[in-house]
Copies of this chain bind each other. A is one copy, B any other.
Amino acid sequence: MTRLLFRAAPLTLAALVMAEPALAQEAAEPAADAVGGGTAYILNTLLFLIGGFLVMWMAAGFAMLEAGLVRSKNTSVQCIKNIGLYSIAGLMFWVVGYSIAYPGFGEDSLGLFGIAGFPYAMQGVGEADLGTGYSVASDWFFQMVFCATTASIVSGTVAERVKIVPFFLFVVVLTAVIYPVVVSWEWGGGYLDSVHGFSDFAGSTLVHSTGGWAALVGALIIGPRLGRYGADGKVNVFPGANIPLATLGTFILWLGWFGFNGASQLAMGTVGDVSDVSKIFVNTNMAAAAGVVVAIVATLVRYKKADVTMALNGALAGLVAITAEPLAPTVGQAIVIGGIGGLLPVIFVPLLDKLKIDDVVGAIPVHLVAGIWGTMIVPWTGDATFGGQAVGVLLTAVWASAASAVVWLALKYTIGVRPSEEEEMNGLDIGETGIEAYPEFARTA
């Protein structure tokens, strides 16, 4: 579904309802659900603002999740990467990202590449464009935080072995070009939306898989952390240094996801819209809950222990899975979609290790695998075809992987991506930021 076509709709509808008493004097009693045009505009805008600050808060969630799951010697770097990537994403999405994402394709355009006028202009003080049905600044804010989320996904996978500067340079390209191009195909009204009827309500593919592909390709090109995989195929476990922080990060992400999915309804200026936002809240919550329970049961069955990091990833995978279609499913269906999502990390985390793909926080199973799962199951409950969904998944895979590979390889063979072996063994914190995360706590071993 395009996020563009919506633009003129809500106010038109609302204005019609509101105008009714004026047009027909005899039908003077307004409809019980009448909402004035100005009121609808305010409420739509408010949804973007609330949704926007909730998704902005997800940046803190990723920061805490990753800070908790890396080793203490790399924690400060993970912190600066996360606040830095959120900042860069905002700046790049303003410079050019939004213009690429919402290019206003012409009639004869295939809808694959385009660019709108930039820098993106907002109205002056006190001005508002009633034709849109919401403040364009609120819309920009909401779209921007999605862009930042995509970058957050990458930082977790390639943690503990990538220097700060090349990581930020990758984020520049990801948030300025790679992600916006994907968005343009669908929410921008391009190829996937207009030709294939691809459906991705809040971004299982557009956001999470795009970030996931960028992460996977990064992990392949950069290689695993030193000592992660023994010569004999043994996987050396590098436990995360701070599980409560990782738990906090997961709760933050869960909270933020109400904004991520809920405000992707893009309007609450009608009773129907706000009711749909409510259903999205419920389905989003239940998919995550099911993901947690399934992950706990699965690890209990498989390992005789309830794995806390799998429970956290189960929540996130359930959330990613329901993101492609959080509205159409019944609650029961949402539980099934999220529950299966929660199983995916339990299966794919060890599988990636067998393939010697080193994903520090499990972002690939959570965002890429569960993102594909969520996207492909949309036809079960929503208005989409398996073929159309597959085209979207594949096109995103090809573009995001290829473009990411070009950037990671360019960085690798120019300024270099990894620190020296000695620096990596000592931890990136000392060499890269000069500030240890926990300077007073003595380390075991």
**Contact residues of A with B, CB < 8 Å?**
11, 15, 17-19, 21-23, 25, 28-39, 41-43, 45-46, 48-50, 52-54, 56-57, 59-60, 63-64, 67-68, 71-72, 75-77, 79-80, 82-84, 86-88, 90-91, 94, 119-120, 122-123, 125-128, 130, 135-138, 140-141, 144, 164-165, 168, 239-248, 250-252, 254-255, 258, 262, 268-272, 274-279, 281-282, 285-286, 288-290, 292-293, 296, 300, 303, 305-309, 311-312, 315, 327-328, 330-332, 335, 431-444
Contact = CB atoms under 8 A, between A and B. Distances in A.
Given A15-B32, A277-B49, A306 B80 contact: yes
Contacts of A84: 292-293, 296, 306, 311
Given A31-B38, A53-B54, A137-B281, 12 more contacts: A33-B37, A39-B39, A43-B46, A49-B278, A56-B285, A67-B247, A82-B247, A86-B292, A87-B289, A165-B300, A244-B437, A440-B444
A416 to B, nearest CB: 15
The interface centre, meaning the residue of A39, A75, A440 with most chain B CB atoms within 10 A of its CB, is A440
Contact of A140 (B50, B83, B141, B282): B282
A119 B440 contact: no
A36 B64 CA distance: 43
Contacts of A46: 43, 46, 268, 274
19 contacts: A39-B39, A45-B274, A48-B278, A64-B244, A77-B308, A79-B308, A84-B292, A87-B288, A87-B292, A136-B278, A140-B282, A141-B281, A164-B306, A239-B440, A240-B439, A241-B441, A305-B432, A306-B432, A441-B442
A52 B271 contact: no
B244 A308 contact: no
State how many copies of this chain the complex holds: 3
B241 A438 contact: yes
Nearest to A91: B289
A432 B275 CA distance: 41
A332 B270 CA distance: 35
A441 B439 contact: no
A113 to B, nearest CB: 24
A275 B45 contact: yes
B63 A248 contact: yes
Contact of A281 (B18, B123, B138): B138
Contacts of A39: 34-36, 39
B244 A244 contact: no
Given A438-B441, A440-B444, A441-B438, A34 B38 contact: yes
Nearest to A258: B53
A140 B264 CA distance: 21
A290 to B, nearest CB: 7
A202 to B, nearest CB: 15
A137 B282 contact: yes
B45 A32 contact: no
Contacts of A331: 94, 119-120, 122
B128 A435 contact: no
A22 B26 CA distance: 9
A91 B276 CA distance: 20
A278 B45 contact: yes
The interface centre, meaning the residue of A288, A311, A443 with most chain B CB atoms within 10 A of its CB, is A311
Contact of A442 (B244, B293, B444): B444
Closest 8 CB pairs between A and B?
A60-B251, A87-B289, A33-B38, A137-B278, A138-B278, A22-B28, A135-B278, A87-B292
A378 to B, nearest CB: 13
Contacts of A17: 38
Given A53-B255, A75-B243, A130-B32, A38 B271 contact: yes
B241 A439 contact: yes
Contacts of A251: 57, 59-60, 63, 83
